[in-house]
Structure 1
Amino acid sequence: MDTKFNKPKGFGEILDHTFSLSKNRFKDFFLILLIFMGPVYLLQAIMQLVSGTSFFREVGSGNAWFEQILSSFTETGTIETSGLGADIGIIIVGLISAILGPVAEAAILFAIANIRKNEEYTVGSVIKQAFSRFWPMIGSSILFGIITVMIILIPIILVTVTAIFVFQANPVLGVLGAIVLFLGFAVGIGLLLTRWSFYFASVVLDKDSPGLDRSWRLSRKRTWELLGLYIVFYLIISAIGFAVQMTFGLFLGNSVLLSLISNLATLITTMIFSVGYAVMYLDLKTRHEGEDLKDMIENYNTKTI
């Protein structure tokens, strides 16, 4: 077994292990994502070209070059320029991504599980393993999506209704109350989704569908730290995406080439998050297995006494 997986890790150690694996196995992980998402991004680029978007540099109306670049982002994708066909194409690309994306992430999970055991693997072998869990992944993801929508939608309705009634009596109190309720519900939703978020790894690696109960057990006493890690990964991914968009967008506008570069950056950030997710889950398993072993020892000692 890889020694870095042997002991429970702290916040910083998980981040360090994530970037270490991403660097050392970059070729394998990136190739997995490229195999699945590369054709999707290529299809998206073709649809953009068909809809009239320039490949190298897209500019809009305006006198100065900066105005032309900015207007390209506001004008491209409107009804007049894109048309119904391009909109349908975007929907199709989104659906394909929603289906193939989880399979790619599952393949990365299998690859890291093999690394943990010091077992050899190939990109083809982990992709094959990922497809073997296709339907359980899809079914569990749909269930998780429904739960997510419900626990987000219900608080929004409650906050809105409460704020309206309180606002009529006292506008200042109504606004402050809405803010407090919103922040409280946001934290609560974040913690709940964190507790259930490892369902996917449970379905893939441990063949436990839908995996929500196992995820809840494994994340016990670690919720705040896990939520903090999710926030850090989100900030890293957002920073990289923003930097790429701003840097290349200033010269290329909302062109097809910018989309390809942005998608390439998305593959890298998706890889980092997928590796981080796998490290977090395997760390939870290490802790859980350690606790189970302690419980067995304590029960044995109690019986012998």
Structure 2
Amino acid sequence: MNEHFTRPMRFGEVLDQTFRLSKNNFSSFLLIMLILIGPTILLEALILLLTGTGFFRDMASGGSFLEQYYNTILDVAYEPTTIGEDIGTIIMGLASIVLYPMAQAAIILVIDASRRQEEFAVGSAIKRAFSRFWPIFGSSLLMGLIIFGMFFVAIIVISIFTAIGVVFHPIIGIAMGVVLFLVIGGAIAYFLTRWGLYLPAVVFEHCAPGLGRSWSLTRRNFWRTFGLFVVLGLIIVVISSVFELLFFSFLGTSVVYNILLSIVNLITTMFFAVGYAIIYFDLKLRNDGDDLIDMMENYENPKN
């Protein structure tokens, strides 16, 4: 057993392990993402190219670079999307439902092998992930529906009560909207954190959809788990935003822009999956005493 996984980790240690394992196994993790998600990126790029999107640079007309940049932003904000963009969005949406959870599951399996100091192969990790395809797919679909339902109901409730408040006075309406946003947003964050570790539970503990197991793992560890998710999310948002702005500034909405941005999203998703797995194993250790179990196994089955 890797010594870093034999005791509960502090907040900073989880992040440190996330960066360390992401760096040490970067090529393996990226290969998993490329094998599973790469074909959809190429298909999306081909559709964009065939429907008229510029290959290398696709900027709006203008007399100077700044004018072109500004006009391109206006086009993105106000112009209707093209058929190619709509099809590409649908493809990536389907991929996120089906393939991203499988890629995350494969990365989690690699992290498990690493923590046990066992040899692993990318192909075997992907194969093991797909052996749990239907439980993973069904659980991820259910989680997606829950998230959609939460946000849909939240938008309706906030909109209705804000509109009612505005009838009496605009300030009352705004105040009600802000209060409801904070209260409902906090409730959504709470439940998503408590249910958020469903995927590794489905992969390792065969307890689809894994929501109950996730709820149990995060008991007495809500704020710590929530904080780790927030920090990992902020790191991903900052990295993605910087690269998106950089690529957009020089390439516009071209095919190359979409490919590069998709690759950045693969890397940030990979990084999150690593942190996600470490959080799961740490909470499992805290709740189930896996270190004691492994010590007993090593005692009963000593290595020659």
| TM-score over 0.5 for the pair | yes
Comparing 129-138 with 178-187, which one deviates more in the overlay?
178-187
Distance in 1, matches of 2:146 and 2:260, equals 34
CA contact 2:201–2:214 (8 Å) conserved in 1: yes
Aligned 1:222-261 pairs, distance under 5 A:
222-261=221-260
Distance in 1, matches of 2:204 and 2:36, equals 20
Distance in 1, matches of 2:2 and 2:209, equals 28
Aligned 1:151-300 pairs, distance under 5 A:
151-290=150-289
How far the C-alpha of 1:79 sits from its partner, in A, is 7.5
Aligned 1:34-45 pairs, distance under 5 A:
34-45=34-45
Aligned 1:100-119 pairs, distance under 5 A:
100-119=99-118
- Cα deviations across residues 243-293 of structure 1 (Å, max 9, x unaligned)? 112223222222111212111211111111000000000111000113997
CA contact 1:51–1:81 (8 Å) conserved in 2: no
Q: Gaps (5+ residues) in structure 2? A: 293-304
Q: CA distance change for structure 1 residues 18 and 86 in 2, over 3 Å: closer, same or farther?
A: closer
Question: What is the SS of the residue equivalent to 1:166?
Answer: helix
Comparing 155-164 with 177-186, which one deviates more in the overlay?
155-164
Q: How many pairs does the alignment contain?
A: 292
Distance in 2, matches of 1:249 and 1:44, equals 18
Q: CA distance change for structure 1 residues 254 and 70 in 2, over 3 Å: closer, same or farther?
A: farther
- Cα deviations across residues 201-245 of structure 1 (Å, max 9, x unaligned)? 100121111111000000011111211111111111111111112
Question: What is the SS of the residue equivalent to 1:265?
Answer: helix
How far the C-alpha of 1:16 sits from its partner, in A, is 0.5
Q: CA distance change for structure 1 residues 35 and 69 in 2, over 3 Å: closer, same or farther?
A: same
CA contact 2:136–2:203 (8 Å) conserved in 1: yes
Q: CA distance change for structure 1 residues 116 and 224 in 2, over 3 Å: closer, same or farther?
A: same
Comparing 228-237 with 214-223, which one deviates more in the overlay?
228-237
How far the C-alpha of 1:11 sits from its partner, in A, is 1.3
How far the C-alpha of 1:134 sits from its partner, in A, is 0.4
Q: CA distance change for structure 1 residues 292 and 5 in 2, over 3 Å: closer, same or farther?
A: closer
Distance in 2, matches of 1:292 and 1:54, equals 55
Comparing 230-239 with 70-79, which one deviates more in the overlay?
70-79
Q: Which residue of structure 2 aligns with residue 72 of structure 1?
A: 72
Q: CA distance change for structure 1 residues 135 and 78 in 2, over 3 Å: closer, same or farther?
A: farther
CA contact 1:59–1:72 (8 Å) conserved in 2: yes
Comparing 40-49 with 275-284, which one deviates more in the overlay?
40-49
Question: What is the SS of the residue equivalent to 2:209?
Answer: coil
Q: Which residue of structure 1 aligns with residue 125 of structure 2?
A: 126
Distance in 1, matches of 2:291 and 2:27, equals 36
Q: Which residue of structure 2 aligns with residue 140 of structure 1?
A: 139
- Work out whether 1:50 is the aligned partner of 2:63: no
Question: What is the SS of the residue equivalent to 1:32?
Answer: helix
Question: What is the SS of the residue equivalent to 2:8?
Answer: coil
Q: State the Cα RMSD in Å.
A: 2.2
Q: Which residue of structure 1 aligns with residue 148 of structure 2?
A: 149
TM-score, L = length of structure 2 = 0.89
Amino acid at match of 1:55: F
TM-score, L = length of structure 1 = 0.89
Distance in 2, matches of 1:73 and 1:98, equals 29
Comparing 157-166 with 239-248, which one deviates more in the overlay?
157-166
